[in-house]
Amino acid sequence: MASPQDDNSGKASPRRGNGRKILVVGAGVAGLAVARALRGSGTEIEIIERTTTPDAGGAGIFLPANAVRGLRALGLDDTVLASAVRIEAQRVTDHRGRVHYEVATDDLWQGIGPTVATHRATLHGALLTGVEDVTIRWGTSPESVLQDGTGVDVTFDDGTTGRYDLVIGADGAHSTVRRLVFGDAGPRASGLHAWRLLGPRGDTPPVWSVRLGRGASFLTIPISPELAYYYGDVSADDADAGLPGLVARYTTPVAELVAAATVAHSGPIEEVSLDTWTRGHVLLVGDAAHATTPNMAQGAAMAFEDALVLADALGTAGSIPAALHEYEQRRRPRVERVQQQTRNRDRTRGMHPATRDVLLRTIGKRLFHANYQSLHAAY
């Protein structure tokens, strides 16, 4: 006679009591947010992460008000806001620093929440603390992910195996889960190469400020009383000139800021766009499903929203396939709009400066508000 933990195929069921067993692949922003959202739901959660230790590095991160709203729903906003810099305005200028337009963040978001910036490690640390009761296996990756209709069998690179009701790929733009299950060749190039730097804040005001040059951008954001985050990008075709090639496109003080800063990361900016995020009992979330260029700063916000909508769908739908179908139906229109708006903004800033600058001075502020209007509504 079969035991209650056996399914009709003779394979051991992953269920524990009345709950589900879920594997989250990736302990970055998306994976930790998913684990946080699912805590307390009767679900047994296991996280694996290919790096051997938590990432204490990285550069800065800008969190618009809808990202802060997501943190609030996850119960982590106080932890992050305690050390973050509240950003009062977003400013767009030409390469000399002449202002095209400026938007007050309180006007942009109309009471949804503050807009802040912080060190990426601070955000990651808060998310880790939020799942301190969840098992994380560091230095572990999946080698195979096989489904049989009732669950998922996973073989790990340390030789162990596990069976799960649901596997969630939250392992970034270069997702192993996406490659193993979706047969995806990888992210596509956006045509941009970026540098992320940290330097002394000095007298930098609490403003997100971007200088648009010819085929380049340079962004300055304070992230603490002492530190500022700098982001610069150029066309991938111009990347061989390196950071000096980017700096040469600008007037003072860009050269001085870069000279005093340390490069935290440099590399191509990539995108992910898929026809589906679900295969059976496997789901992709965050950058693994929908990575985009950073000009709308929506990566963390979309990851938080993914986590919250997934937790809601799993809590109300009658089965995992039904929950994943509901999840994708709810998330895809919002995510695809962000991706399209991002591409539109990239095209605008890539225009010849003579045309672009006139356009931005004339209607830039109105376009900026329109870009974020659809994100005022809750996820």
Q: Please give the structure tokens belonging to residue 370.
A: 């329109």
pLDDT of residue 186: 84
pLDDT of residue 111: 96
Under-70 pLDDT residues of the chain: 1-18
Q: What is the DSSP letter of 296?
A: G
Alpha-carbon span 76 to 35, nearest angstrom: 13
Give the helix ranges, DSSP H, for 114-173: 120-129
pLDDT of residue 14: 41
Considering the entire predicted model, what is its pTM? 0.93
C-alpha separations of 26 from 51, 106, 138, 348, 358 in Å: 9, 34, 10, 34, 44
pLDDT of residue 56: 75
pLDDT of residue 8: 33
Domain extents for the chain? Answer: 21-59+123-187+272-350, 61-76+85-119+190-269
Q: Please give the structure tokens belonging to residue 312.
A: 């809601």
pLDDT of residue 5: 33
pLDDT of residue 254: 97
Q: What angle do CA 139, 25, 69 make, to 5 degrees?
A: 120
| Domain 61-76+85-119+190-269 in the same topology as domain 21-59+123-187+272-350 | no
CATH number for region 61-76+85-119+190-269 = 3.30.9.30
Identify the helix (H) or strand (E) that includes residue 154.
strand 152-156
Alpha-carbon span 9 to 31, nearest angstrom: 31
pLDDT of residue 2: 32
Residues 6+ apart with CB under 8 A from 246: 195, 216, 218, 232, 233, 234
CATH number for region 21-59+123-187+272-350 = 3.50.50.60
Judge whether 250 and 214 are in contact, CB under 8 Å.
no
Alpha-carbon span 376 to 54, nearest angstrom: 33
